[in-house]
Amino acid sequence: MDIVTPLVIGIMLGGLYGLVALGLSLIFGVMKLINLAHGDLVILSSYIAYALLAYLGIDPVLGLVISIPFMFVLGFVIQRYLLGKGFAISSETPLIIAFGISLVLQNLNQILWTPLSRGLNTSYSAMSFFIGERQFPLSYLLDFMAGIVVTLALRTFLTRTYMGRAITAASQDGRVAQLMGINTNRVYGYAFAIAMGSAAIAGVFLGMTFPFTPTSGISFLTIAFGTVIIGGLGSMVGTFFGGVILGVFQTLGGCLFGPASQMLIVYVLVFLILAIRPRGLFGR
C-alpha cells in the first residue's frame, strides 16, 4: 500500500486546516469565546471571492486586496456591536450571538448564491505538480504555503508589535492587561478583526481546493475545532501543526479504513487528546 501519497496530501491539506483554525484559536485565546460562526465566516469569504471572480473576473488571490479589509472591518463591527454588547450581559450571551450569526450567514448565503455547490476555478487551481512519480494538485501546495505564511505573519504580529503584545497580554490575564493601560475592548475588536482577516485568506484557499455550499461552514468549524484541540491554544504555530496532524490522520485514516470513515480516526485522536492532554500537544 502506498503510504507516501496520503501522507503528503495530509500534510498539505493540514496546512489549510491550520489556516482555517487560526482565527478560531486567536479568538478563543483572547476572548475565551468559541466562535460558532467561524466556519460560516470563512465560507462567506469564499463566496466573496466567488462573486469577485464570477462577476468581475478578479483572481481570488488578488481579490484578497478587497476581501481582507472587508472581513477585517466586518470582524471589528461584529465584536464592537454584537459580541461586545453580549459580554456585558453574561459570558454565555456571546456564544448564543455567535450561533445566531452562523444561522443568519448560512441563510444569507443560501438566498444570495442558491444551495448549489460552487468552487473557485482558476487556471492554476486545477494544475498539478510531481514529487518523483507521484502527482499532486497544485492547490494543495498553495494551501500549505498560505498556511505557513499566515501563521508566521500572525506570530510576528503577536510578538513584535504593541497591539500584538497587548492581544497576547489580554489573552493571558485580561484584568492585569487593563491595569497596564490596555483598552481591552479595543484590543478585542482588533483581535476579532485580525481573525476575520485570516478567515478571508482561508476562505479563498478553501474555495480553490474544495467545492463549497452555504452550509459547508459547519464541517469546517468541526475541523477547526479538532485542529485547535490537537494543537492547543495560545500559539499560532501550535494551531498550524494541529492542522497538519489532523490532515495526516484524516488521509491515513481514509487510506486504512476507506474514505467513508476517514474522519473516524481523527475523532478518536481528538477524544484521546482531550482525555490525556486537554491543553493540546503544543498548548501552554
Q: What's the first-to-final CA gap in the chain, in angstroms?
A: 38
Q: By C-beta, is 135 or 172 nearer to another protein?
A: 172
173 binds another protein (CB under 8 A): yes
Cell 477524544 found at: 271
Of the candidates 148, 197, 200, 192, which has an alpha carbon nearest to the alpha carbon of residue 170?
192
Give least dist CB 162 to another protein, A: 6
Of the candidates 217, 207, 220, 13, which has an alpha carbon nearest to the alpha carbon of residue 121?
207
156 binds another protein (CB under 8 A): no
Q: By C-beta, is 23 or 234 nearer to another protein?
A: 234
Q: By C-beta, is 107 or 172 nearer to another protein?
A: 172
**Using CA atoms, how far apart are residues 194 and 76, in angstroms rounded to an integer?**
8
Give least dist CB 180 to another protein, A: 5
**Using CA atoms, how far apart are residues 54 and 60, in angstroms rounded to an integer?**
10
Q: By C-beta, is 7 or 163 nearer to another protein?
A: 163
- The site string for another protein over 232-271 (x = CB under 8 A, - otherwise) reads --x-------------------------------------
48 binds another protein (CB under 8 A): no
Residues 185-214 that bind another protein (CB under 8 A): none
Helix (H) or strand (E) holding 135: strand 134-137
CB 220 within 8 A of CB 123: no
User: Which residues contribute to the site for another protein (CB under 8 A)?
Assistant: 159, 162, 165-166, 168-169, 172-173, 175-184, 234, 284
